[in-house]
């Protein structure tokens, strides 16, 4: 007789535990809804007769789902990691779990429609990361960190790639002048895209995950396409914003893979009058030979 599962994860939901469990058991094999306990009294998370606690199974693993009310939300501090046999299983789960309101994240992570975080991990990934050749393992790790959904073929290619093809010249050593010039070009392209309301152009001047600290809060954008592009309309509605322009770009520290810039910019109305001037701190990074904005800390709204 198989031993009973000693520890069972319990997932907290706000009134939609039955729907969530129905969704999860439709996605995974060896899955079932094993028991639904309905409350006999009104309680903080629901009414008498409502589903209070559900027992269910996914891929042979037992779980509990609790309708606890709106008091606690899922976050990335807890996630469910799925061991996938091959790329086909990775692709299937990625589509299924991001459907109808789910969200891709970075490095094989995603959030489903209920806000629960998942790691969709092909079995080949830890094998590649454990190569006895440290150079191969490093290339696999670097490739994985640039991915959203994990692509096994690209990881295999990264593992087998030579550090530098014989016909390729060595990358030039960057000096301070060339680093500053490369970063200024990125800042110019970023501002140009902003003034053209070109979200993709702004993303192209950035690296991800991207961090922005402004208006008293820190926001992390895991991947391209997640900037709040209602920014343009909000600025126009609030201040009749038409464009912005840099007034200062001062590199205060740099290395071959990172540079810190003190910057300032002015926002202008459609009649050319000034809305305000704002100071910021930008960190630009060199990833794979391409410079991009990695972090922004602004005193502007």
Q: What does the pLDDT look like over 58-105, one tens digit per residue? A: 999 999 999 999 999 999 999 999 999 999 999 999 999 999 999 999
Mean pLDDT of 175-179: 85
Residue the block writes with tokens 């007034």: 247
Q: State yes or no: pLDDT of 53 exceeds 90.
A: yes
The confidence band for 296, taking pLDDT boundaries of 50, 70 and 90, is very high
Q: In terms of domains, do 56 and 88 share one?
A: no
User: Are both 83 and 149 inside the same structural domain?
Assistant: yes
The mean pLDDT of 277-293, rounded to a whole number, is: 93
Domain with 94 in it:
74-161
Q: In terms of DSSP bridges, do strands 206-214 and 290-298 run parallel, antiparallel, or are they unpaired?
A: parallel
Residues 191-219 have a mean pLDDT of 88
- Co-location of 189 and 287 in the same domain: yes
pLDDT of residue 187: 93
Q: How far apart are CA 223 and CA 210, in angstroms?
A: 8
State residue 224's pLDDT score: 84
Residues 202 and 99: their CA atoms lie apart, in Å, by 27
Residues 87 and 195 in one domain: no
Name the band, by pLDDT with cuts 50, 70 and 90, for residue 165.
very low
Name the DSSP class of 49: T
Say if strands 32-38 and 51-58 run parallel, antiparallel, or are unpaired.
antiparallel
CA–CA distance, 239 with 275 (Å, rounded to integer) = 7
| Of 130, 161, 192, the domain-final residue | 161
Examine residue 170 and state whether it is found in any structural domain, yes or no.
Answer: no
User: Total domain count for the chain?
Assistant: 3
Q: Which residues of 85-101 are buried (b: 16+ CB within 10 A; e: fewer)?
A: eeeebbeebbebbbeee
Residues 62 and 78 in one domain: no
For residues 7-28, average pLDDT: 96
Final residue before a domain boundary, out of 18, 46, 72? 72
Which residues partner with 282 through β-bridges?
261, 296
Which residue, of 38, 72, 106, is where some domain finishes? 72
Mean pLDDT computed over 132-152 = 93
Query: How far is the C-alpha of 293 from the C-alpha of 183, rounded, in Å?
Result: 8
Q: Are residues 79 and 68 in the same domain?
A: no
Residue with tokens 């094993």: 34
Residue 167 belongs to some domain of the structure: no
Burial of 3 (0-12, 13-18, 19+ CB in 10 A): exposed
Beta strands in 14-113 (DSSP E): 32-38, 51-58, 61-67, 79-84, 103-104, 109-111
150 and 191 both lie in a single domain: no
Asked if residue 81 lies in contact with residue 150, where contact means CB atoms within 8 angstroms, the answer is no
Indicate the pTM of the whole model: 0.55
Contact 98, 104 (CB under 8 A): yes
Pairing type for strands 103-104 and 109-111 reads: antiparallel
In a domain, 171, yes or no: no
């Amino acid at each position: 007789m198989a031993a009973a599962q000693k520890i069972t994860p319990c997932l907290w939901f706000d009134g939609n535990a039955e729907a969530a469990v129905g969704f999860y058991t439709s996605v995974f094999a060896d899955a079932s809804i094993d028991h639904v306990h309905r409350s006999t009294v009104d309680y903080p998370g629901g009414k008498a007769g409502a589903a209070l606690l559900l027992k269910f199974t996914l891929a042979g693993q037992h779980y509990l789902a609790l309708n606890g009310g709106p008091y606690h939300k899922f976050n990335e501090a807890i996630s469910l990691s799925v061991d996938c046999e091959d790329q086909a299983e990775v692709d299937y789960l990625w589509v299924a779990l991001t459907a109808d309101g789910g969200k891709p994240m970075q490095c094989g992570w995603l959030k489903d429609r209920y806000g629960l975080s998942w790691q969709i991990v092909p079995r080949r990934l830890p094998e590649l990361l454990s190569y006895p050749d440290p150079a191969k393992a490093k290339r696999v790790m670097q490739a994985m960190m640039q991915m959203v959904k994990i692509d096994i073929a690209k990881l295999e290619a990264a593992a087998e790639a030579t550090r530098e093809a014989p016909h390729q010249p060595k990358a030039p050593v960057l000096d301070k002048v060339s680093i500053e010039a490369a970063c200024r070009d990125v800042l110019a392209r970023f501002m140009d895209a902003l003034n053209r309301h070109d979200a993709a152009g702004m993303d192209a001047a950035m690296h991800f995950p991207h961090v922005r600290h402004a208006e008293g809060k820190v926001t992390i954008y895991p991947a391209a396409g997640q900037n709040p592009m209602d920014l343009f309309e909000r600025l126009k509605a609030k201040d009749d914003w038409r464009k912005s322009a840099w007034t200062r770009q001062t590199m205060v520290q740099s290395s071959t893979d990172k540079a810190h810039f003190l910057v300032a910019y002015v926002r202008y109305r459609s009649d050319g009058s000034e809305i305000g001037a704002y100071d910021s701190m930008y960190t630009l990074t060199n990833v794979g030979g391409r410079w991009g904005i990695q972090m922004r800390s602004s005193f502007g709204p």
